[in-house]
Copies of this chain bind each other. A is one copy, B any other.
Amino acid sequence: MTVAIKLYDLCGRDERLRFSPFCWRVRMALAHKGLEFTTQPWRFLEKDAIAFANHDKVPVLVDGEQVVTDSFDIMRYLDDAYPQAPLFGEGASYQRARFFKHYVERSVTPALFRIVALDLLAAIHPDDRDYFRETREARFGCTLEALHQPEQGRGLLKQALAPVYAQLKDADFIDGDSPAGADYLLFGSMMWAYSVSQEPLVEDEDEVDQWFKRMLAVHDGIAGKATTVRDIA
């Protein structure tokens, strides 16, 4: 009997709309490993539903008896439990993936936030919007309206992604000929912005755009087939 893997996954105003960058990392990682899984849609205020994990945010992964939280720890867990097709690897390889995670979170994601802030708010379930606004405005120290500066965000994004542009001149994926951990870490954030907004993020058909389209197609198009704001009235 196969033990089903279950992923608690953030959803928006439409239950099919799944946009958490951290959940996307895990979905892609599960697909990378060829593991079947189901998702449990979850909203920001449903803290009780994941209290069993001693954690108040998704992703939460339930794999039989194992409960794992935090997207990076989940990916690490998947490498330990399912060693085929490593996401991170060991030693320096793992440490460089950890560096890449910090790079995405500290340098890339804040630029993306400026491009999609108000679209993100609109994608969130109406009951969750006060919570979202309060926590994010406290984190950034300004209103979402002040944060929402798509043009400026695109400039910051281009600057932050300069090493990715250089990397993709010589390889189809950040991790080489096929995607692995670093690709999923960056993709999670790009997919988050793409899922909630129709704002252009990078220039059409530039290296990052082409990479993003390749990422939408890999693993039977798990990301390309996902519901985005483009599909919702």
Residues of A near any B CB (own CB < 8 A): 86, 89, 91-100, 102-103, 105-107, 160, 162-164, 166-167, 170-171, 174-176, 180-182
Q: Is the CB of A97 within 8 A of B96?
A: yes
When distances are taken between beta carbons in the complex, the residues of chain B under 8 Å from A96 are: 93, 96-97, 99-100, 174-175, 182
Q: Which residue of B lies closest to A160 (CB)?
A: B107
Known A92-B175, A95-B174, A96-B96; further 6 A-B contacts with Cβ < 8 A:
A86-B92, A92-B97, A93-B96, A98-B170, A99-B174, A102-B164
When distances are taken between beta carbons in the complex, the residues of chain B under 8 Å from A163 are: 99, 102-103, 105-107
Interface of A is mostly: helix
Q: Which residue of B lies closest to A178 (CB)?
A: B92
Roughly how many angstroms separate A12 CA and B207 CA in the complex, as a whole number? Answer: 39
- Shortest Cβ distance from residue A41 to the other chain B in the assembled complex, whole angstroms: 31
Roughly how many angstroms separate A98 CA and B166 CA in the complex, as a whole number? Answer: 9
Q: Which residue of B lies closest to A173 (CB)?
A: B95
Using known A-B contacts A92-B182, A176-B92, determine if residue A162 contacts B97 with beta carbons closer than 8 Å: no
Q: Is the CB of A91 within 8 A of B176?
A: yes
- Shortest Cβ distance from residue A215 to the other chain B in the assembled complex, whole angstroms: 15
When distances are taken between beta carbons in the complex, the residues of chain B under 8 Å from A94 are: 176
Using known A-B contacts A91-B176, A180-B92, determine if residue A100 contacts B99 with beta carbons closer than 8 Å: yes
Roughly how many angstroms separate A176 CA and B86 CA in the complex, as a whole number? Answer: 18
Q: Is the CB of A162 within 8 A of B92?
A: no
Give which listed residue, B97, B99, B170, contacts A164 with CB less than 8 A. B99
Roughly how many angstroms separate A92 CA and B160 CA in the complex, as a whole number? Answer: 21
- Shortest Cβ distance from residue A22 to the other chain B in the assembled complex, whole angstroms: 16
Q: Is the CB of A167 within 8 A of B102?
A: yes
- Interface pairs A-B: 8 shortest CB-CB: A93-B93, A96-B96, A102-B163, A102-B166, A106-B162, A103-B163, A92-B175, A95-B176
- Shortest Cβ distance from residue A99 to the other chain B in the assembled complex, whole angstroms: 5
When distances are taken between beta carbons in the complex, the residues of chain B under 8 Å from A102 are: 162-164, 166-167
Q: Is the CB of A98 within 8 A of B162?
A: no
